[in-house]
Chain A
Amino acid sequence: MKPAPFRYHRARDVHGTTRLLAELGEDAKVIAGGQSLVAMMNFRLARPAHLVDIAPLRELDRLGTGPGGALRIGALTTHHTVETAPDAVLGAGFAVLRRAMGWIGHLPIRTRGTVGGSLAHADATAEWCLLAVTLGAELVATGPDGERRIPAGEFFLGPYTSVLGPAELLTEVVFPRPAPHAALTEFAERKGDFAIVSAVVDLDIEAGGVRGGRVGLGGVAPVPVRVPEAEAVLAAGGSFAACAAAAAAAADPPGDANGSAAYRRALVRSLVERACTEAAAGTAAGNATRKAVSR
């Protein structure tokens, strides 16, 4: 199908964009890479009367370090830019982001799709949304009243719904600290499809042993969620299998055409254990797990 008519506006600067959005009201939509929005418009699932193209705001296409080892990613940075970022920009501390990009669509999607667009779109199974929630990212939004910083855990309200106001523009996401022992994994019927369930594990490893960590799940709730029950197992020195079992027990996933609740719970168990193992790879804790598994 073809999209419904709309009026096209090209952004010139961040503040002008928020002013324009405020004037246009609820019927306007921001377009960045458009890899979700244009598909929805082609199907007329979305029919915005006004489209504000923020691609000209090149200052939002940036990737760099911030204070305390933080990583700052401008909203217009593409998945492909992250995927191909040199070590100097995206050191070992954030290699998890580079590796996770392979799960997002396919190459021609990743060359256009943006980090900020994915977060603002707020798909419950999107990789960036899950990474942001699990790794404790902060989202920076500019509105008519200025800038505010929103913890990722408070940003998502439900499927395709976030706390962003109609006149607010997501400009940046900040990952506050390196996550050198983290991994994302997921399951979809075909590579590149939306995940049925996705998992991120970020381990705290000291002196070769796991001291704790964060466990996040996508596809089990209307928004990406942390799983405190599974994190408690890691903090108490439990095995990865026990952590995965706790995550599966705590998860209350929906059942739909893509999989029943029981199927999703089984996926949670498999994926959390796999993410733990991948996160620990190359460390003494990871080697111990590998030996245990091979025995």
Chain B
Amino acid sequence: MTTPPPSADAAPGAAPPTGCELQLMVLDVNGEQHEVITEPRRTLVDVLRHDLRLTGTHVGCEHGICGACTVLLDGRPVRSCLMFAAQAEGAALRTVESLAPDGAPTEGPEEGPEAGAQAPPAPGDRLSDLQQAFRAHHALQCGFCTPGFLMLAEGFLAERPDPDEAEIREVVAANLCRCTGYQPLVAAIAQCAAARRAARENRSAQRKEL
């Protein structure tokens, strides 16, 4: 903890780092600013899990194949194992903890994680629409890949609100799931898209009536 954080001005000719080289980073995660002092070699997924204790994001293969670590960076799905946390400074990050605001472990004064564990809320009422669709369609079994698939689908639907089935199949191919056989994932994402579309049409119809 004694090494000053290097900057672009760090003496470039200096010997390559041998031990623990620390750096201050400010990360915007789920709408909150976090200051982290860590090594520049720390990947984003490791900072999310170990430094910020946001363990919803899972780490699998660490080379960009499995997609378990998928998070949103400025709204777009990215592999958090394939970037260093230092590269995420200045970007807005979203993890699976942001999907259902009530489910975030740091929120809800009378309902912390302990309280939640003792008295589980009624099924579904702390899940986002996408998470509910995953639950309704059994789009998960062991759950290891689920946070990655949720963030992949959330980012995808934000950009393509009306995807056809072929597009959904193409996008879920980005992540690995060894339980479901993918069909329930496709059905869940399609149903979530359809429900959001119906809600949009409802809102615009109501606006017209006014």
Residues of A within 8 A of B (CB): 1-12, 16, 20, 23-24, 27, 31, 34-35, 38-39, 41-43, 49-51, 53, 55, 80, 84, 102, 105-109, 111-112, 191-192
Contacts and interface: CB of A to CB of B under 8 A. Distances in A.
Contacts of A42: 43, 62-63, 81
B13 A23 contact: yes
B86 interface: yes
Nearest to A11: B8
Nearest to B148: A108
A5 B174 contact: no
For chain B, the bracket of interface size reads 35 or more
A192 B21 contact: no
Interface string B46-78: 100000000000000011100100100100111
Contacts of B46: 2
A39 B40 CA distance: 15
Contacts of B81: 38, 42
Interface of B: 6-8, 10, 12-14, 16-21, 23, 39-41, 43, 46, 62-64, 67, 70, 73, 76-79, 81-84, 86-87, 152, 155-156, 159, 170-171, 173-175
Given A3-B43, A5-B39, A42-B62, 6 more contacts: A5-B17, A5-B19, A7-B21, A9-B10, A108-B78, A108-B155
Contacts of A49: 16-17
A207 to B, nearest CB: 35
A109 B64 contact: yes
A28 to B, nearest CB: 8
Given A7-B6, A8-B40, A8-B84, A112 B12 contact: no
Contacts of B19: 5
B12 A1 contact: no
Contacts of A111: 73, 76-78
Contacts of B18: 5
A50 to B, nearest CB: 7
Nearest to A53: B87
A80 to B, nearest CB: 7
B12 to A, nearest CB: 4
B77 A5 contact: no
A27 B16 CA distance: 8
Nearest to B151: A108
Given A38-B43, A39-B64, A108-B152, A20 B77 contact: no
Given A5-B41, A7-B16, A35 B21 contact: no
